[in-house]
Amino acid sequence: MRIKDLREDNDLTQQDIADYLHIRQNTYSQYENGRRQIPIEFLIELARFYKTSTDYLLGLTDTKEPYN
């Protein structure tokens, strides 16, 4: 999953993204390191936030642009 790379590329902290998703930082950390599966609704929110697709976040495509 690319959520850590995108967060770092945008100079954001885990706390920044956790605040955006209204969750605790340690929960978000578990999503990034694969210890917990990210809920679909959060995956969709992150795709909107980063203006990309869920497929890109999941590593299913290398095309960063969202689908139309």
**pLDDT per residue over 20-61, tens digit each?**
999 999 999 999 999 999 999 999 999 999 999 999 999 999
The CATH number of residue 26's host domain is 1.10.260.40
Residue 16 domain-assigned?
Answer: yes
In this prediction the pTM is 0.90
Residue 65 domain-assigned?
Answer: no
Task: State which residues form the domain around 25.
Answer: 3-58
Q: How many independent structural domains does the chain possess?
A: 1
* Whole-number Å distance between alpha carbons of 30 and 15: 12
- In angstroms and rounded to an integer, the radius of gyration of the C-alpha atoms of the chain is 11
* Whole-number Å distance between alpha carbons of 68 and 66: 7
